[in-house]
Homo-oligomer: A and B are copies of this chain.
């Protein structure tokens, strides 16, 4: 019992730390009036987005809560209290809350980072990183608190699984809706602003510019946060569920394997908090020193988490403790390897991205072919890492080992997410410095911070994909225990691929990520058109807008594109929830297992391909813009821009959404398991 209170305690500690950090960020100087003006417009836009998004989500969440309450809690399990429905609702609210807090700070940290960069590089880094750390510690804090408290109250992990489902639902909307929004605003503002009206990029006269800025926060901060919040919650839930199922007798509440994931998460949180203090650099730091500043924080946290996990395992006296420790190490190593591989394939410091830039010399066609081939090749290391992690973790501790490897991978999430969420803040600070015509020296500093942000964002994306794959597999394992009540030995669980229904499930599962990606890519086009029309209308109807005397209606532009993107994501979103339920009802629980495996395999591969080819195209363009191969404005650059345009929905809409698709399908299966058997 104490273990759960320890978990709750660390959760509270994380939130207190986040509050303190947020306070420090918010009391920073906001800079010049021009900067405040721009910052205000972004905040207005972000509020408009969140208001609209949460209104749409509320309907969806209420509907699903009722469905769960009626069909699972009341009809199927004959409960007096709709426990799973309550867990679902709380999970959804928590996920929305983390998104709100993360974005709230990020959009306020943009201007403050730019202002701090006026003083020096280190102050700029500290503000941007601290705002990312607010997000990171909030996610882990709310995650562990939600699960621990619900578990303490309901004493049934299958009920707590509803929390994961709630988190997934919001995550899906945040990632898909946000992903469509950000790219639609980007493309739409370019088409009307740059092409039709002939005004430069990021020009404040363009009503969609703010939507574009908002989009970066919506997609990269809130989207990434809710994505990893879900991975974090689901990996804990899956591990506890497997530990529960694998206990021959009804487990004690203090059964070591049951509380271990919560304690690993707890020491992970504390380690991450300590790690954040090591992220600092000198005033004249080089690029590699900046990168090292962030990496030092992560490495110190990782070392701490390993040492303290080992201690926890020994203190708890877990059976086969060394083997379980090995599984945790495996997960942590796999996550880092995937992160580095992502960086290798998408940073222009390395040959794959440079080869894409060289291919741009022979035109847009060869740029696309080379970039797409690079994305496909880049699946090798992530798959090898996950496969190695599965083999080692399973050898070490069966399915429990696979699940706790996911927990290990995510244990340092507090700080890894901080380095990810740092990226878009630094990016926007750079944009603000440019729009507010700050001193060239300041822009050099924000450029350095931004460039660093691209690297950490790449690593973060790889991490998100890797953890999604491992978490989904852990959920799948928990699901197979759930559909085989009474089985305690993982080796007795069977899903036979040669059963034609399972085979059919697998094929349909493998199909879904393709359809999902196609729908989300098409949605970007549809939503972009809605923005184009709105910008044209404002240019026509608001007097003095082109002369700079009339103020564009930024919020309306944001609201329209929000509505457009949220409407466009209904079909893919509904598919993700309905497909596993339909499969479970029509072909049965084993074919649903086949469907999950098919979706995880093909979704993982597609997600890596799309995210990495998109990232590599982006950076190939940046490499050329840095003055290589002809530089900005050359034909080579134009070809690279085509690659970047294709890469935008790949890396920011479809690719990352696939992470959620596979986790959401898996947790839907777990939550609805009682209905299928």
Q: Which residues of A contact B (CB under 8 A)?
A: 191, 359, 362-366, 368-370, 372-377, 379-380, 383, 386-387, 390-391, 394-395, 399, 402, 473, 477, 480, 490, 493-498, 500-504, 506-508, 510-511, 514-515, 517-519, 521-522, 524-525, 593-594, 597-598, 601-602, 604-605, 609, 641-642, 644-646, 649
Contacts and interface: CB of A to CB of B under 8 A. Distances in A.
A443 to B, nearest CB: 28
Contacts of A395: 500
A521 B372 contact: yes
B368 A646 contact: yes
Contacts of A373: 517-519, 521-522
B646 A507 contact: no
Contacts of A494: 494, 496, 498
A519 B383 CA distance: 17
B510 A498 contact: no
**8 tightest A-B contacts by CB?**
A365-B645, A376-B518, A394-B500, A510-B601, A377-B518, A373-B521, A373-B518, A376-B514
A663 to B, nearest CB: 17
B597 A191 contact: no
Contacts of A496: 493-497
A12 to B, nearest CB: 38
Nearest to A641: B365
Contact of A524 (B369, B521, B605): B369
A383 B511 contact: yes
Given A480-B498, A506-B601, A191 B362 contact: yes
A370 B410 CA distance: 36
A642 B508 contact: no
A374 B498 contact: no
24 contacts: A363-B642, A363-B645, A364-B642, A364-B645, A365-B642, A368-B368, A373-B517, A373-B518, A375-B518, A376-B514, A376-B521, A377-B514, A386-B507, A394-B500, A399-B498, A477-B498, A480-B498, A493-B496, A497-B593, A498-B593, A506-B597, A507-B604, A511-B605, A514-B609
Contacts of A525: 359, 366, 369-370
Contacts of A386: 507
Contacts of A646: 365, 368-369, 372
Nearest to A521: B373
Contact of A605 (B359, B473, B514): B514
Nearest to A609: B514
A387 to B, nearest CB: 5
A502 B506 CA distance: 14
A521 B369 contact: yes
A525 B366 CA distance: 8
B602 A510 contact: yes
B376 A515 contact: yes
Contacts of A495: 496-498
Nearest to A375: B518
A10 to B, nearest CB: 32
Contacts of A597: 497, 503, 506
Given A498-B495, A521-B369, A504 B645 contact: no
Contacts of A394: 500
A362 B642 CA distance: 11
Contacts of A497: 495-497, 502, 593-594, 597
A644 B602 CA distance: 26
Contact of A598 (B377, B522, B601, B649): B601
Contacts of A641: 365
Contact of A391 (B365, B390, B500, B521): B500
A304 B29 CA distance: 84
B508 A387 contact: yes
Nearest to A359: B525
A490 B498 CA distance: 8
A59 to B, nearest CB: 28
Contacts of A594: 497
Given A377-B519, A383-B511, 20 more contacts: A191-B362, A364-B645, A365-B644, A369-B524, A369-B649, A376-B515, A376-B518, A383-B508, A386-B507, A390-B504, A473-B503, A480-B498, A493-B496, A494-B494, A494-B498, A497-B594, A497-B597, A507-B601, A514-B605, A642-B642
Contacts of A507: 383, 386-387, 390, 601, 604
Q: Which of A517, A521, A597, A609 has the largest number of chain B CB atoms within 10 A?
A: A597
A606 to B, nearest CB: 9
Contacts of A498: 399, 477, 480, 490, 493-495, 593
A378 to B, nearest CB: 9
A494 B644 CA distance: 46
A511 B380 contact: yes
Contacts of A366: 525, 645
A644 to B, nearest CB: 8
A499 to B, nearest CB: 8
Contacts of A368: 368, 642, 645-646
A501 to B, nearest CB: 8
A394 B649 CA distance: 40
A276 to B, nearest CB: 35
A661 to B, nearest CB: 14
Contacts of A504: 387, 390-391
